[in-house]
């Protein structure tokens, strides 16, 4: 199975590992299942309700899952919520050159992004 250089890079040195202190400017998500062996906890922090300025994650899963989560954490920094909402698993899979059998790893990352955005927006619902 072909493994892209970008997957190797993000698996070998995953970015933005850790957690953020919970406050109203942080959106958090936990997706996946410990029973299935894949869990992604993703947090986004927004500055001034406009741009994502920090992303942190904890991930447990295969190398492709780790690479997808790490890639997404880098991609999100500096993006608006509207831009972040447009990120799709297809985009992630294409960029990382994921084999078909590992596309579910990109879907998990997309689900985490969407859930973190929803969590953030629920805190700011008027």
Q: Is residue 74 in some structural domain?
A: yes
In a domain, 110, yes or no: yes
- Cα 89 to Cα 25, 50, 56, 104: the distances in Å are 25, 23, 19, 8
Q: Residue 27: is its pLDDT beyond 70? A: yes
**pLDDT value of position 125:** 78
List the CATH number of the domain containing 85: 3.90.1010.10
In a domain, 98, yes or no: yes
Contact 27, 119 (CB under 8 A): yes
Distance CA 52, CA 60 (A): 23
Q: Is the pLDDT of residue 4 over 90?
A: yes
What average pLDDT score do residues 1-16 get? 95
Evaluate if residue 1 carries a pLDDT over 90.
no
Residues 88-114 have pLDDT tens digits of: 999 999 999 999 999 999 999 999 999
Whether residue 126 lies inside any domain: the answer is: no
Whether 125 is in a domain gets the answer no
pLDDT (0 to 100) of residue 126: 63
Q: Where are the beta strands (DSSP E) in 1-126?
A: 26-33, 38-47, 51-60
Number of domains in the chain: 1
Q: Confirm whether 83 is domain-assigned.
A: yes
Which residue range is the domain that position 46 belongs to? 5-120
Q: What pLDDT score was predicted for residue 64?
A: 98
In eight-state DSSP terms, residue 1 is: -
CB under 8 Å to 58, separation ≥6 — which residues?
17, 18, 19, 39, 40, 41
Mean pLDDT of 1-30: 96
Q: Is residue 96 part of a domain?
A: yes
pLDDT, tens digit, 9 for 90 and up, residues 29-88: 999 999 889 999 999 999 887 899 999 999 999 999 999 999 999 999 999 999 999 999
Does any domain span residue 102? yes
pLDDT for the residue numbered 29 = 98
């Amino acid at each position: 199975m072909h493994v892209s250089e970008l997957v190797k890079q993000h698996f070998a040195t995953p970015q933005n590992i850790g957690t953020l202190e919970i406050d109203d400017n942080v959106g958090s998500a936990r997706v996946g299942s410990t029973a299935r062996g894949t869990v992604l906890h993703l947090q986004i922090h927004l500055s001034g309700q406009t741009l994502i300025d920090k992303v942190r994650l904890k991930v447990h899963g295969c190398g492709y899952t780790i690479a997808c989560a790490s890639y997404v954490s880098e991609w999100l920094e500096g993006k608006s919520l509207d831009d972040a909402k447009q990120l799709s698993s297809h985009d992630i899979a294409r960029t990382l050159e994921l084999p078909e059998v590992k596309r579910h790893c990109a879907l998990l990352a997309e689900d985490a992004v969407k859930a973190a955005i929803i969590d953030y927006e629920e805190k700011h619902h008027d």
